[in-house]
Amino acid sequence: MNILTLSVLLLTALASPSAFSQGFQFDSDISEDLKTQVNSDLASLKAIHLVNSSVLNDSVFGKNHDYTTWLLDRVQKFGFGKSDRTAVAYFQSISAGKIWVTKNYIKYPLPMIYRVSTFLHEARHTEDEFNYHADCPKPYKLSNGEPVLSYYSKRPLAGDDACDDSAVGAYGIEGIFYRNIVRYCDNCTDKVKADAEIQFEESLKRVSNKAEHHRLMDDSDFHDELIDFSDQSF
């Protein structure tokens, strides 16, 4: 191999999208730091291997647990979201097939599994049936009587449009994803599984329809009653 051949090979390697990011495109105004983190997270998503899966996981994501292909079917582009909101990523229906990632994505020390799950959440919003969230009940309490709070912002969720009526909406599918990681991933670290378990419970709290909440619990083989549904008429 001569020097010229080697140079061409190196340039080709640099110019080609790496396997894990193949298919995803980035707007030119996304910073290198942000792009690098998103690419790293997409690689982590691609690498997840499950030895089994739940019924809802199969019906939502497909029997082969290929979360990346499911994501690519709905999202092909990443843009830079200049919003002042605290969101790490969001979807706008006027920009089909695109997730807007904000500076918060790398500003806060968020777990990897949470960051990639955010992509699944936003991708679910691309489907007409799951464009929007439902208002959380008011009051909305945990089994111990405490108000249900947003995990990161610590604000009470009661009355906020931050819940879903369906077990397979944007929050529910995050819960399905997290719990399948906990139960069936054979190449995830203990840290990833611990993060996923915490986030599973947060996602479950966002499914505030009693029947759908329990559908997600059953599918997840999870038996702790987190929410107090006793004085609620739904």
Residues that bind Zn ion (CB under 5 A): 170
Output 27 or 161, the one with its CB closest to Zn ion.
161
Structure tokens at 7: 């140079």
Tell me the residue nearest to Zn ion as measured from the CB. 170
Minimum gap (Å) between residue 142 Cβ and Zn ion:
22
Minimum gap (Å) between residue 125 Cβ and Zn ion:
6
Distance, in Å, from the CA atom of 133 to the CA atom of 173, rounded to the nearest integer, reads: 13
Output 120 or 170, the one with its CB closest to Zn ion.
170
Output 73 or 127, the one with its CB closest to Zn ion.
127
Output 125 or 215, the one with its CB closest to Zn ion.
125
155: number of Cβ within 10 Å: 11
Minimum gap (Å) between residue 186 Cβ and Zn ion:
30
Minimum gap (Å) between residue 161 Cβ and Zn ion:
9
Output 170 or 192, the one with its CB closest to Zn ion.
170
113 near 199, Cβ under 8 Å?
yes
Dihedral sign computed on CA atoms, order 169, 54, 225, 229? positive
Minimum gap (Å) between residue 102 Cβ and Zn ion:
14
Distance, in Å, from the CA atom of 21 to the CA atom of 215, rounded to the nearest integer, reads: 34
Minimum gap (Å) between residue 121 Cβ and Zn ion:
6
Output 50 or 170, the one with its CB closest to Zn ion.
170
